[in-house]
Amino acid sequence: MAFGCGERRKPPVEPVTLKILVAGGFGVGKTTLVGTVSDIRPLRTEEVLTEAGRPVDDTRGVEGKDTTTVAMDFGRIALREDLVLYLFGTPGQDRFWFLWDELATGALGAVVLADTRRLEDCFAAVDYFERRSIPFVVGVNCFEGTTRYPAETVRQALDLDVDVPVVLCDARERESAKEVVIAAVRHAGAHTADRRRSVTT
């Protein structure tokens, strides 16, 4: 007799969880982006830059930065009730590259953050994802006071494929940072669908 009347309780949904990597050069805004979009207090493993690390960590252009991510940043964002993203910020310094393969396991896609003043710093990340066919988008973190280049100019400078989305953003703004992350999910979805099609036809 209860049918048709009253509110029907929706069964609790078990959310789909997706893993997205956030990569890019040292000081480009990875930790900032993960922290900005995360629903939970992001887990950070920042460490004060030590004297010992100084010759290795190139801080030119990022003066004022005195912490560095030694292992990774970790954040979580629920895009919908049934869709949760786990964000992993990769360490920017070359000497932590051994962690990358571990982090990349099971990743749906990635965001490569770029700073147009030090564009070459993200070459390694772009190269890494291209080689492994991990779909990625490029987020250009627009620091104030820097020249704003159109997305197409950045695409050419990075020699990206035409289908790689390039999104201008501000890693400190939640909506802006979220847009980049969503672009990565969309792009990865399209990429996966294309792959499936090419396997079945």
Ligand X SMILES: Nc1nc2c(ncn2[C@@H]2O[C@H](COP(=O)(O)OP(=O)(O)O)[C@@H](O)[C@H]2O)c(=O)[nH]1
Which CB, 34 or 108, lies closer to ligand X?
34
Check binding of 76 to ligand X (CB under 6 A): no
DSSP at 29:
S
Comparison of 127 and 173: residue with beta carbon closer to ligand X: 173
Q: Check: CB of residue 189 under 8 Å from CB of residue 197.
A: no
**CA–CA gap between residue 89 and residue 110 (Å, rounded):** 10
Relative to beta strand 16-24, strand 83-89 is parallel
Six token digits for residue 183: 């672009």
36 binds, among Mg ion, ligand X, none (CB under 5 to 8 A by kind): none
Helices 30-37 and 174-200: angle between axes, nearest 10 degrees: 90
Instruction: Give the whole-angstrom CA distance, residue 103 versus residue 111.
Output: 13
Q: Which of 121, 170, 181, 185 binds ligand X (CB under 6 A)?
A: 170
157 phi/psi in degrees, rounded to 5: -60, -30
User: What count of other Cβ atoms lies within 10 Å of the Cβ of residue 70?
Assistant: 16
Q: Phi, psi at residue 168, to the nearest 5°? A: -80, 140
Asked whether position 69 contacts Mg ion by CB under 5 A, the answer is yes
The residue whose two tokens read 């792009």 is 187
Asked if 188 is part of the footprint of ligand X (rule: CB under 6 A), the reply reads: no
Q: Binding string to Mg ion for residues 16 to 55, with x set by CB under 5 A, is what?
A: --------------xx------------------------
Under rule CB under 6 A, which residues in 96-155 are in contact with ligand X?
A: 141, 143-144
Identify which of residues 103 and 160 has a Cβ nearer to Mg ion in the complex: 103
| Binding of ligand X by 90 (CB under 6 A) | no
The answer to the question of residue 141 lying near Mg ion (CB under 5 A) is: no
Write the interaction track for ligand X spanning residues 10-49; mark x where CB under 6 A is met and - where it is not: --------------x-xxxxxxx-----------------
The letter for the amino acid at 106 is: G
Please give the residue ranges that form the binding site for ligand X (CB under 6 A).
24, 26-32, 65, 69, 92, 141, 143-144, 170-172
Please give the residue ranges that form the binding site for Mg ion (CB under 5 A).
30-31, 69
